[in-house]
Amino acid sequence: MATLTYRDALNEALKEEMARDPDVFLMGEEVAEYDGAYKVSRGLLKAFGPKRVVDTPIAELGFSGLGVGAAMVGLRPVIEMMTWNFALLAIDQIVNAAAKLRYMSGGQVTCPIVFRGPGGAALQLAAQHSQAFESWYAHIPGLVVMTPGTPADAKGLLKSAIRSDDPVVFIEGEMLYNVRGEVPDEEYVIPIGVADIKREGSDATIVCHGKAVTVALKAAEQLAEEDIAIEVVDLRTITPLDRNTILTSVSKTNRCVVLEEGWSFAGVGAQVVDVIQREAFDLLDAPIIRVTGADVPMPYNKYLERAAKIDPAKAVAAVKQVLYLT
């Protein structure tokens, strides 16, 4: 098992899948000659050539449409968005074409395509470049939505995404690209729709995904110093949602905090809360609390930006609230 950065884990997944299947190709802005805006595609042009690692113009709608067409005729495109904020320009192809082709063709046409790139906030990129869109895409039938929070999950989920016959929205964490972790070698594939217990505990559950996993684990470490044992459930895949893992954890701890980077209204956490209150209401010893980003466009000012984001302190406060310690 190697120790890799999140970025190198993604690179390894791409390299392995492109070597395994000649129908897989990568397309996007600066993915070839420049090795990718975040260096995720480093070395792929040299290894696979310009027909399989394709630089595009700054035209998200156009190259996403090319990818959908290629997927319809049997190829497996991986479309890199320099940021998911820019994918707004391609949303017609993602939502109206890729997501609906199998259904509208009665199963005659599949669309095995992966749209991937960083989402959410980084540092002082301001309102137009700091948005978390998981709940938007999870709202659309026909799309699989993945949000890896660790290097191992980045590799295992991306390999599964590329092999899927359904279109996948794969949202990475820009602030995670340099994070290091152990990553299994060679054939490591994580099944779609399976959450992961990142830390076991008995006092309360934190359900999270993506960059929020790091926040949850830091909060759990702080709470452990006060003899509070937190179970951290990493959704990994937003749709399909692993209801069983969520419910099993909550049935053990009887208390839950849902932590996410995005806005609160109609967020991923709202769906998680709905699952718990419908299927495990009688097991709860306290109301579920959601911790989200502030419902404002992300400020540019670094102090206001920090106030708008989730952090371990906010997660710790929520856990103490469901434990009636505050």
* Active site (catalytic) residues: 60, 129
User: At 248, which amino acid appears?
Assistant: T
- Residue 267 in tokens: 């967020």
In angstroms, rounded to a whole number, what is the distance separating the alpha carbons of residues 114 and 106? 21
In angstroms, rounded to a whole number, what is the distance separating the alpha carbons of residues 256 and 319? 8
CA angle, 145 then 147 then 149, to 5°: 165
Neighbouring residues of 224: CB distance < 8 A, sequence distance ≥ 6:
230
CA Rg, the chain, in Å? 19
Unique residue bearing structure tokens 């709860």: 284
In angstroms, rounded to a whole number, what is the distance separating the alpha carbons of residues 310 and 236? 18
Give the dihedral sign, CA 267/135/235/11. Answer: negative
In angstroms, rounded to a whole number, what is the distance separating the alpha carbons of residues 149 and 147? 6
Indicate the pairing of strand 2-5 with strand 180-183: antiparallel
How far does Cα 60 stand from its chain's mean position?
20
Pair 99, 145: CB distance under 8 Å: no
